[in-house]
Structure 1
Amino acid sequence: MEGLVVTYDGTGLEIPEADTAVSIDMLAEDGTEHGFTLIVTSDGKVSYDLSESNSQSPTAGEDRADVVSPRLTAGDLTEESDAPVSEPPAPDGLEVAEMDAAGSPGECQDGAYSTLDRKEYGIYNWYLGDGAYPAGMTRIQALEYFESSIGRITASINSCGLTDQVPAKSHYAGTTTYEADISAHGTCTARDGKSTWDAGNLAAGAVASTCAWTWPNPVGKNDLREADVRFNTADFDFTRNPTSTCNGRYHDVLNTGTHEAGHIFGLGHVGSGHSNLTMYTKADRCEVRKRTLGKGDVMGLRSIY
């Protein structure tokens, strides 16, 4: 069965080799959640996990954890993380619809999170594709913004005074001629062995998608093997700095990238009522709230690592 494609709710997964799990997580502009996991055991048996497809599932600290529940520590609220992360220009004079944000708890009060059955036990080595990039960025600019997106997850960058207690690591391994293994139809194709970030065509409504392959782990979270990210530049415009001229047209690169990096390191979506968190399932144009983590995002990472 290896190589056959299984589809569900607008997404698809190509059946991988034995003893491998593959997942797709889609960030949709309309807030609907699309994604699922397919697992192939060592004897070739195929099973599915559709739990990721329901954005209305409970999110008040929901986790399949292999560590104790996270908690605030003495260092929290007294010191900031000093991890060096590149900071692109701050947005100026945003004209953003804030109805959802106003009806949700503030990012520093909302402890909701959900996690996936996924963890990077070592170092996430990733590559920059050599094709198009969102917002018409050059290769150097794409490296800066993608690296910063990943760094905001690994360094727990937040404005809530929560310290970095997450030992997750990443390493930029260079440019590759390989592409993200995600098709224009929203399918995770056969993995090529390189975790690649790029831009191109995706399924309609998908602002960005992450495909991740893991080794099944019966005593903890699955061990991350490869994770690819693609921005949908065929259907959406992106910007590096959504200023007052945004007018509801553009998606922010860093906002989107930080959300996708959260998926790579094991964070799932949170649904309605949690719109101030990075892992909120809806992608709003011109928003920058996902650039920095909220309390729930940090607590979710701590529960994994």
Structure 2
Amino acid sequence: MEDLVVTYDGTGIEMPEPDTAVSIDALSEDGTEHGFTLTVAADGKVSYDLSGANTESSTAGADRADVVSPRLSPADLTEESDSPVDEAPAPDGVEVAEVDAAGSPGECQDGAYSTLDRKEYGIYNWYLGDGAYPAAMTRLQALEYFESSIGRITSSHNNCGYADQVPAKSHYAGTTTYESDMGSNSTCTDRDGKSTWDAGNLATGTVAAVCAHTWPNPFAKNDLREADVRFNITDYDFTKNPTSSCNGRYHDVLNAGTHEAGHIFGLGHVGAGHSNLTMHHEAARCEVKKRTLGKGDVMGLRSIY
């Protein structure tokens, strides 16, 4: 029997096991919204949340109070890691000068953010897939850029003078033969137990995407269980470091990666009028400004953690 797949606006989710929520968040080149959340309660009741597709609200005012996840025990934390995590240094800078989009405040003046029903209560353990990587990177290069993407979220990396007050943590757990749990039609498939970053095929129009599996939590944000990231190298070309020769040809790996890492740790999209923020919903070629968090990105993380 084939797995039941629920689809919505160009994305899909295979029906997960009971007491699980699955979300897909897609970054598009034209700024159209693709993504939703499907939840299967412990009794098998299925529900949907399409609110993540709305990027028009300037701020999210509905964050629930932070509480310790009822599913997380001290043993879980020790099993994952009980020592501070050192984030990798950022790759070299870029040579491209960017002009702020008309009508959008500067990154340090724009306090807009939205948040998802998702939080990493422990440490995000992630793996490097052993298949393809964007920009034809080697395994070591992929590790450097993916780790830096995640680190820019967990360290609140910004040029606005905001101190890092976010205790979110990550840990690189090694290479795996598993792939990201995503189909070529931008469908989240059954989880395999490993949060994997890789590259492959997604639906045309999707530059990169996150599939996140969480435990539903009625008292606070859902507890992150697994989150995979895939870059679409079938339809788009990527570069490690866009220079003046980019000429609208490539997407920057670190630009897209930082945006996707934001989703993992609970940040949602912000829409038109907020193009200088990392979580702006549109992916522009040769763009690098998503590499550095803006005011709203930092405030969003602080509201979650």
**Taking structure 2 as the reference length, what is the TM-score of the superposition?**
0.91
Q: In 2, distance between residues paired with 1:169 and 1:87?
A: 16
1:207 maps to amino acid: V
Offset at 1:65? 3.0
Report the CA distance between 1:85 and its aligned residue.
4.1
Matches of 2:134 and 2:263, distance apart in 1: 19
List per-residue Cα deviations over 1:237-274 (Å, max 9, x = no partner): 00011000000010000000000000000000000000
1:89 pairs with 2:92: yes
Q: Is 1:134 aligned to 2:134, yes or no?
A: yes
Q: Residues 133-156 of structure 1, C-alpha deviation per residue, up to 9 Å, x if partnerless?
A: 000100000000000000000010
Cα distance in 1 for residues equivalent to 2:32 and 2:104: 18
Partner of 1:171: 171
Q: How far 1:88 moved relative to its partner?
A: 1.0
* 1:104-123 mapped onto 2 (5 Å cutoff): 104-123=104-123
Alignment check: 8 A CA contact 1:238 1:253 kept: yes
Instruction: Give the aligned partner of residue 234 of structure 2.
Output: 234
Q: Distance in 2 between matches of 1:65 and 1:285?
A: 36
CA distance in 2 between partners of 1:60 and 1:180 (Å): 31
Query: Residues 132-181 of structure 1: CA distance to partner in whole angstroms, max 9, x if unpaired?
Result: 10001000000000000000000100000000000000000000000000
> Could you tell me how far apart the structure 2 residues matched to 1:55 and 1:203 are?
21
- Trace 1:108-257 onto structure 2 (pairs within 5 A): 108-257=108-257
Structure 1 letter corresponding to 2:64: A
Residue 105 of structure 1 aligns to a residue in which SS? Answer: coil
Q: Deviations over 1:48-88 (max 9, x none)?
A: 001112233x12244433249xxxxxxxxxxxxxx854121
**1:59, 1:19 → 2: CA distance?**
31
Query: How far is 1:99 from its partner?
Result: 5.9
Q: RMSD of the TM alignment (CA)?
A: 1.6
| Aligned partners of 2:104 and 2:273 also within 8 Å | yes
Q: Deviations over 1:93-134 (max 9, x none)?
A: 44x5x462x420011011100000000000000000000100
Q: Over residues 179-226 of structure 1, what are the superposed CA-to-partner deviations in whole Å (9 max), with x where a residue is unaligned?
A: 000110010000000000000000010000000000000100000000
* CA distance in structure 1 between the aligned counterparts of 2:205 and 2:191, rounded to whole angstroms: 23
* 1:143 partner SS: helix
The corresponding residue for 1:66 is 65
Moved over 6 A (4+): none
C-alpha contact 1:21 1:39 (8 A) present in aligned 2: yes
SS of equivalent residue, structure 1 residue 48: strand
1:262 equivalent to 2:262? Answer yes
1-structure distance, mates of 2:104, 2:48? 32
Count of aligned pairs: 287
In the TM superposition, residue 299 of structure 1 has moved relative to its aligned partner by 0.4
Q: TM-score, normalised by structure 1?
A: 0.91
Contact 1:61–1:296, Cα closer than 8 Å, also in 2: no
Q: 8 Å contact 2:88–2:144 — kept in the other structure? A: no
Q: What is the match of residue 79 of structure 1? A: none
Q: Which residue of 2 aligns with 1:8?
A: 8
Give the corresponding residue for 1:281. Answer: 281
Map of 1:78 onto structure 2: none
- Give the Cα–Cα distance (whole angstroms) in 1 for the partners of residues 46 and 60 of structure 2: 29
Q: Which runs of 5+ in 2 are unaligned?
A: 68-85
Measure, in 2, the Cα distance between the counterparts of 1:272 and 1:32: 11
Match of 2:80 in 1: none
Which amino acid is the alignment partner of residue 261 of structure 2?
A
- Measured in 1, the distance between the counterparts of 2:41 and 2:87 equals 40
Q: Secondary structure at the match of 2:227?
A: strand
Code of the residue aligned with 1:116 in structure 2: it is: L
Query: The residue matched to 1:197 in structure 2 has which SS?
Result: strand
Show structure 1 runs of 5+ residues with no match: 69-82
- After TM superposition, give the deviation of residue 284 of structure 1 in Å: 0.4
